[in-house]
Amino acid sequence: MVKNPKFEQKFMPLKRIAFFIFVSSYFTVFGQQAETEKRQINIVYGANFTKDEAKFPGASIFSKDDQRQVQFEHQGADLWCDVAIFYAQENRLKAIGNVRMQQGDSIEMNSGKLDYDGETKLARAWEKVDLRDTQMRLTTDTLYFDREKQVSFYKTGGKVVDSVNVLTSKIGNYFMELEKVQFRDSVHIDNPDYIIDSEQLDYYRVSKNAYMYGPSTIVGEDYTIYCERGFYDTTIEQGYGVKNTRINYSDRIIVGDSVYFDKAKSFASATNNIQVTDTINKGRIRAHYAEIHKEKDSVFATKRAVAVSLVQQDSLYIHGDTLLVTGPSESRILRAFRNAKFFKTDLSGKCDSIHSSEETGITQLIRNPIMWNVDNQMTGDSIHLLSNKKTEQLDSLKVINNAFVISFDTIGKLGYNQAKGKDLFGKFIDNKLEIIDLVKNTEVIYYMYDDKQELIGIDKTICSKIRLHMLNNDIEEITFFVNPDGDIFPEKELPVENRKLEGFIWRGDERLYTKDDIFDEDDNNIELVKIRGIDAPVDIDTEERERSGLPPLQEDPKAKNLNQNTKATKPKRPTLKKVG
């Protein structure tokens, strides 16, 4: 045969292309066939075989024999049942009677019936479904199992039991790779030590940690926690909430932006916009950080801290850089440290620190105290307010050493009414200061007016004891005891420099007029701690795997959005490094 070089040169490339197409087609078909075979459900043991085209057109029916059940295998999972209706062309089957599906060595599911699709790897099991692994058992009426995503879920109520808890809900999703069960709708956890009810709860099986979303309540032996987003370690009864959180702890109720609780340490703390309510004594503490130690029966509060109590239908506010409440309800002691102040409608004051005892009914203003009874300024080395423990009303007042009372002359605006002595003793009637006794080395300067509000003169007297009778918080009458020595001077006859008693200091610019005056500029400019997880989402799944020592998950776009929740966070504590 004679070859034509020009022909060969012209058509050789076409032959190569045709060969390439043939080879490519061959491998494509072969690959598709191999992939089809890979996805195909395999019959391991068919036992008895039959067909029923009327009922199950196109299906092969297999049933168990005397030796064993029918068995199928598909991509690492084995299935046993009494009867199987197998649609080979569609690569799906129906299993009936004593169905058991096993995936690897860890996951086993039993049910009365099951539908399985080999193309999508989706299974639906019903009639007494029981899914188990080495650490958990899930039971429900109907369960859907996605082997591709390794997710199973129920929608008609189910129960999960592990070594610690019994969990029930109407809807549940079990993410196998994440080792997590997501419960929704009527979630309930039963434990010998506590009970949890929630709208939605994510439970991590390795750590036994629960994350709650929506209205949730935890009831323990001596505490009740409510929150709408929070965390709880079910093994050690430790947790926190960051949305509408409230803890009823012993005889106190704690609320705040972020509240933390630890049963083992008998401890709770809260951060930002806190209120701690004493349910027995009806007192409240507000602050931006607080700690409650149950065993010590104490509350520590700081950051714009204020204690509020009711005194005869009037609120008494006590503030300090730090507040400390200690002791059982019948003998509680309140201490306000550094820059202490208090305010009541007709009574206010400030000092270095305040000490108030429920048992004795005594409130002490310690170190550099000053107090205002409406317009009357009182000072001394120390000031004590005494309450009647039965009526819970103010009963009496003591100013010890260097007692000094000053009020501005509001009528003529000519100077200041003054009275001083070694000590001062006051008496409250119906919660109003009506009698003031000054004793030892007493002196008075007082501007006297007639009924027409015209100045009569300025009384300047010394004696052993002075009694001031008060009416509507003004001096109504002055009584001198034991050899008074003095006179009423016409205004022109008493020089201005002689109108002030020794030790006179007017501090009117420091007076507190409203409850907000107890806070200074630093208190009002406190920058609140940013609670982690409130605004930005946190990848809880990754954190839980790290905490449990599990390897990181492979990046899977389908699984990436399984759970991007917002994580509850422990409150930031200045003295204990819990979280930020």
**Can you give the residue ranges of every domain in the chain?**
42-117, 352-520
> Alpha-carbon distance 513 to 458, whole Å?
29
- pLDDT for 323-367, tens place per residue? 999 988 788 899 999 999 999 888 899 999 999 998 888 999 999
Residue 443 is predicted with a pLDDT of 93
The amino acid occupying position 361 is G
> Alpha-carbon distance 269 to 234, whole Å?
19
Three-class secondary structure assignment of 84-108: EEEECCCCEEEEEEEEEEEECCCEE
Along the 580 residues of the chain, how does pLDDT read in single tens digits?
Answer: 444 555 455 444 444 444 344 444 444 444 444 454 568 999 999 999 999 999 999 999 999 999 999 999 999 899 999 999 999 999 999 999 999 999 888 889 999 999 999 999 999 999 999 999 888 899 999 999 999 998 999 999 999 999 889 999 999 999 988 889 999 999 999 999 999 999 999 999 888 999 999 999 999 988 999 999 999 999 999 999 988 999 998 788 999 999 999 999 989 999 999 999 988 878 899 999 999 998 888 999 999 999 998 766 778 899 999 999 998 878 889 999 999 999 988 889 999 999 999 888 899 999 999 999 888 999 999 999 998 877 778 889 999 999 999 999 989 888 999 999 999 999 988 878 889 999 999 999 999 998 888 999 999 999 989 999 888 778 888 889 888 888 899 988 999 889 999 999 999 999 999 999 999 988 899 888 888 655 555 678 888 877 777 776 665 444 343 343 433 333 333 332 223 2
> Alpha-carbon distance 340 to 306, whole Å?
10
> Alpha-carbon distance 123 to 526, whole Å?
57
Nearest to 203 by CA among 228, 227, 174, 226: 174
CATH number, span 352-520: 2.60.450.10
Residue 539 is predicted with a pLDDT of 77
User: Does residue 420 contact residue 438 with C-beta atoms inside 8 Å?
Assistant: yes
> Alpha-carbon distance 147 to 144, whole Å?
10
Q: pTM score > 0.85 for this model? A: no
> Alpha-carbon distance 425 to 467, whole Å?
9
> Alpha-carbon distance 447 to 183, whole Å?
78
> Alpha-carbon distance 17 to 28, whole Å?
16
Cα 75 off chain centre by: 47
Residue 534 is predicted with a pLDDT of 58
Residue 553 is predicted with a pLDDT of 63
Residue spans of alpha helices (H) in 116-273: none
Apex CA 348: angle with CA 340 and CA 364, to 5°? 55
Burial of 142 (0-12, 13-18, 19+ CB in 10 A): middle
Cα 95 off chain centre by: 49
The amino acid occupying position 355 is H
